[in-house]
Structure 1
Amino acid sequence: MSRRSSSFSNPLAFILLLSAVFLLFVAGIFLIGYAHIAATLPAPEELRDRANTFKTTTIYDREGNLLYEIFPNDAGRRTITPLASISHHLINATLAVEDPNFYHHPGVDPVGVARAVYYVLKQDERLPGGSGIPQQLVKLTFLSAEKTLTRKLKEAILAIEISRRYGKDEILEIYLNHIPYGNLAFGAEAAAQTYFDKPASHLTLAESSLIAGLTQAPGLYDPYRNWDRARDRQADVLRLMVEHGFITPDEATAAWLEWEGKGQDEILASDGSGFPHPHFVLMVRRQLEQTYGADVVSKGGLRVTTTLDLHLQQLAEDAVQEGIDALQKINANANNAALVAIAPESGEIVALVGSPDFNNDEIDGQINMALAPRQTGSVIKPLTYLATFEMPEDYWTPAKIIMDEKTQFPDGAGRPPYVPKNYDGKFHGPVSVRSALANSYNIPAVKALQHASIPALIQLAERLGITTLTRPDYGLSLTLGGGEVSLLEMTGAFAVFANGGERIEPHAILTVETDGGDLLEDNTGRSGSLVMSPAHAFLITSILSDQDARRPAFGASARLLELPDRPVAAKTGTTDDWRDGWTVGYTPQLVTGVWVGNTDNREMNHLSGVRSAAPIWRQFMQDAHKDLPVRRFSPPANVVKREVCSDTGFLAHPECEQRRTEFFKADQLPPDPTPTP
C-alpha cells in the first residue's frame, strides 16, 4: 500500500488535517470579515480630530488668573492637556477603574469583551462596563451607543486598529482629554478646575480617586448633589487601585481619611453658577466674537489674556458698592453706578464695573452701564474749550475773558432763543476761561461752543474716540450734556489729556493665542497717535487740576476732586434733570470715570455729579494710587508761562492793577497792549 493511501486510512491524521483546513477557512472568513468591516468604518487616523470637536476658550486676567470659560451650549468645558501635565494619581485611578490591562492588550481586553458579548446575547440591560479605554474612545468618537452585537464587533475592530496606529500614551492622552466628568467638564483639566479649582497636574490621590469615579455615571455620582454617593464611589476606586497594584493599602487609607470630618463645601470648588467681574468678561467675549466669530470662540480653545488688574478691579467694585450704599442711606434715589479705569500710557482697561450687582434684576444689573450711552452733563466741557484752543484764528487761551451774563442764543427759525442758566442760578460777570471751566459755568461754555462751532466739537470728540454723537440736530446745549456718550468712551477721551495728546485705543485684550500657542492678536506695547497738541492737552490739564480755581463754585466739595498726596485733574457733570451724575479725572498713571444714576432713567433726588459720582471716584483713585509714585503734570517744551492782566487776559503791562500768571502755547500768546515804539 502506498504512503498516500495509508495517511488517509489513519483517522486521527484525517481529523487533524480536516481541523486544520477548517481553522484556516474560519480564519480566512474572519480576516475577510474583519477587512470588510474595517473598510466600512471611519479611518482610525481621524481619532484625534474627532475627539477634539471642541475646546474651551479661556479668559484670564493680566497675571494669568482664570476669569471665564466659553464653550458650546450643547457641550461643555474642555482644555486640551498633554499626558505629562496630568497627575499620575488620576492616570492610575482611571486605569484601575476603566482598563487595568490597558498597556498589555492589543486594543481589546478579551475577558471584558467576552463578558459584554454574553450579556448582549442575553439581552440583559445590566450590561457591565467591559469595554477597555480604546473601545470607550471608539464609542465616544466614532460609533453610536447602541447595545448590539454588530456595533460591539465594529467597536472591537476599530479599537484594535487604533491601537495599531497610535501609541498607548497617545490613546490615553486623547481619552483623558475627551471623557465627560459631569457638570459640563470634559477632560481631566476641566474636571480638575471644576471640582477643585486647580490644574490637573496638581491633583492629589484623594482628589483623583473622586474624579476618576465619576466617568461611568457623572449624574449619579455628582459630588455637588450626591456627596455621600460620590464618596462611596471614591472608596470603590481606591479599592480597585489597591487591587491592581497602583497604590498600597496604607496609601488608600490615608487618601480616604484626608477629608474625614470635612464637609463638601470645604473640599469642592464653587459649583460655578456665577463668575467674577461679569461685565468685563462678557464685554471681552463680545469683542472676541466680533473678531473671530462665535463658533471659533465657543469651540476653538482660544487662550485670551486680558488687561484686567484684579487688585484694581476689586477696589473698583468695593468703591461702587460702598458709594451706592451711602447714597441709599440718604434716600438719593440712585441705585446704579459704573466705573472705568484706564492706564493712559498703554490704553489698557485695568478695571471696569458695569453695575453694583450683576444679578440684581431690580436695578437691571446685567446691563453694562459702562457701555450704555448717557447724557454727559458738563463733563464734556473740556472738549468744548479745547475746540476753541485749536482754532487757527481767533483762538482762545486759558486767560481769555468771557462775560458770564444772561444771554439769548438763536435756536433756529420759529423757535424761541436758547437761554442757559448756571448751576447756582447766578451770573459771575467777566471770567477767564480757566475760571469758567474750573467752576463749570454754563453760559461761558455755551459761548465757547458758539465760537468754535458744533461740527468742530463733534469732529474733535470723534478724534478722541467718541462715536455716539451722530444726531443731525444738536444745538448749543451739546456742551451742557445734550448728547449721549458711554462712560468707557468718555474715560478714553480724558485719557488723551492724561497722555499728553496721544491717543492709544482703549482695549481689554492683551493677547489671543490658539490652543497650540500660535499668537493671533498681540496688543502689548500698543502704539498710539497724536490727536491733539501736547500743549493744548497740558492747558486743559492745568485747568482741571487747579484746586484754587474751582473753589468759588465747589466750596468744600472741591476736596472730593482732590487727592491728598498728588496733583490730579478732574471734571464733574450733572444733567439738568438730575438723571446722570459724572466724575472723570486722572493722574499721569491712571484715568478713572464714574457714572451714577438709574438704568431706567428715573431722576435722582437733586444729586449733582460731585455729590453722587465724585465720592466713588475719589475713594477708588486714592486706594489705587497708594503704591504708585507721585508724578506731576509737566508742561511740554512749547508751553510758556506769562504774566497777564487779570481783568483783560492780555499780557501784563505797567498799568495792570491785578496780575496773575498763566500757561500758554508758545505760538498762541494773548494780545500785547503795549504800543510798539
Structure 2
Amino acid sequence: MSSLPILRRRRERRLAERQHKQGRLTRGFVLAGLLLSVFLGGLIIASAFAYASLTANLPALDLLPALLEPPNGPLLQPSRIYDRTGEHLLAVLGEQTASRNYIPLDPQFPEHLPDTLARATIALADPDFYSHPGYTLAGLTRPDEHPTLAQSLAANLLLWDEPSGLRRALRERILAAQLTAHFGREKISEWYLNSANYGHFAYGADAAAWLYFSKPAAQLNLAESALLAAVSQAPAINPLDAPQAAIQRQQETLDKMQALGLVTPQETNLARFVPLNFQSPPPHGDPAPAFTALALAQLEGRVDRARIERGGMHIITTLDYGLQLQAACAVKTQLARLAGQEAETCAGAASLPALPPGLNAPGAAASAVVIDPRSGQVLALVGDTTQGQESAFLTGRRPGSLLTPFIYLAGFTRGLAPASLVWDIPSADSVIQNPDGRFHGPIRLRTALADDYLAPAGQVFAQMGGPLVQQTLRPFGFDLPAATISDLLGTETRYSL
C-alpha cells in the first residue's frame, strides 16, 4: 500500500490547522483593534464632556479689567458699611475713604509702578513667571494654593464664590492660561500688583505704600519694594503688626532676588541699609464698632470674608443711627454716674433710672443692645465700654434681672395681664430687694416690669412655680435652675449676643 495519500492528508491537515490559527489570530487583532477604537472614542467623548463641564459658565476674561481698572472698576472702592438709611457711614474697610489708585506698570506713563516692585513680587510669588503658560500643575491637589500670578487673579477675583476643590483648581488653571494668552504677562503683573492684599485692608500697591510709608507707590525704592512684596505673600506679617518679622522677610526677599539674578549684589547691599520709616495708621472713627463687627460676622456666613474686605461692596445694615448715638451716650453716662463723675447730658441718658443710694463702682463696664422684638433686627449695639472707651467686643455676662420678663411671660400664660395688680412689698421669706432700695405698694405689672422692681417678680415666680418658669425659658435657649427666684437671678451662666 502506498504511503503517499497518508502524507498528503497529513500535509493538508497541518495546513488547515495553520490557516485556522492564523484566522483566529487575525480575528483577535481585529477585535482588539475594535475594542481599542471604542475605548479611544469613548475617552475622547468623555474628555470632551469633561472639558465642556469644566469650562461651563467660566467668567468672561473681560470681567477682570472691568473689576480693576478705572474709571468704574468696583474694586477701586473699599467696601463701606452704612446704617439702615444708607446715609450714615459706619465704617470703611480700608485705610482711606477715597477711591484706590490704579497705577500702571508701563514706564511710559508719568506715574507708574517701579520695576523693582514687580521683580520682587515675581521672585516670591512666581519665580517661573516668564517661562510657564500662566499656570502650573504643581499644587493641583492643594486647591487653596495658587502658585502663579495669573492663577491668583483667577481664583481671588473670578472664581472666589466657587467651592474649593479639584474642579475649581482645574478651572483656575484654564482661566489663567486664557488670561495670559489674551492679555500678556505685563498686564497680569500689573493687575496683580494693583489688587494684592498687603494687610490692614490695604489692597493694591499704592494703598500699601501710603499706609506703611506715606508715599505713592511710584516713589518706592528697592528696599521698600522688597518689603511690600514680602507682605503681599503673608499680609499678617506687616510693618504695623510685626515690624521685626517684616524686616527679616524683606532681607530674605533681597537674597532671593539676587539668587535669581533680578538684582546685582551691589544693589542688594545698598538696599539692606536703607532706613525704613514706618508710619502709624490714622485712627478710625467708628460710631458702632461692636455692631460693625457683628454685621461682618453675620455677612461672612454668606460671602467670603476676603471678598468683603477686597472692596466694591455697599453694605446696608439694620442700625438706627440716632438710636445708636443715644445708646452709646446712655452707657457712658451711666458709667460716669457709677464712678461718681460728672455725667454727660443727652437724650439717651434722660430715661436712666436713679442709682441705689451709696452705690459707687468706678471700675464698672457696660454694654447695651436694642432689638426690634417684631423683626429681631438689631437697632443699636454698644460694645464693652470702660472709662468712656467702647471696644468692638461683647463679653458674656450674667443675665440677672434681664430674666424677669420671662417670669411675667409665664404669668401671662396663666391668666395675668400687663394691667394686673401686683404688690411691691417685702416678703418674710425672701431677700430680694428693689434696685432703688424701696418698696412701692400696689402697682401694675407693666410698671413693675418697666422699672425692674424685683419684689413683684418674686411674688409672680412663687405663684407660677419654678417648673413653669423653666418651661417658659427653654424655647428661648435658656436652661437654668429655677427652684427659687434667687437661683434664677443669681445664675453664674454667662451669655452674649
Scaled to the shorter chain, the TM-score interval is 0.3 to 0.5
Give the structure with the larger strand fraction: 1
TM-score by length of 1: 0.32
Give the structure with the larger helix fraction: 2
TM-score by length of 2: 0.43
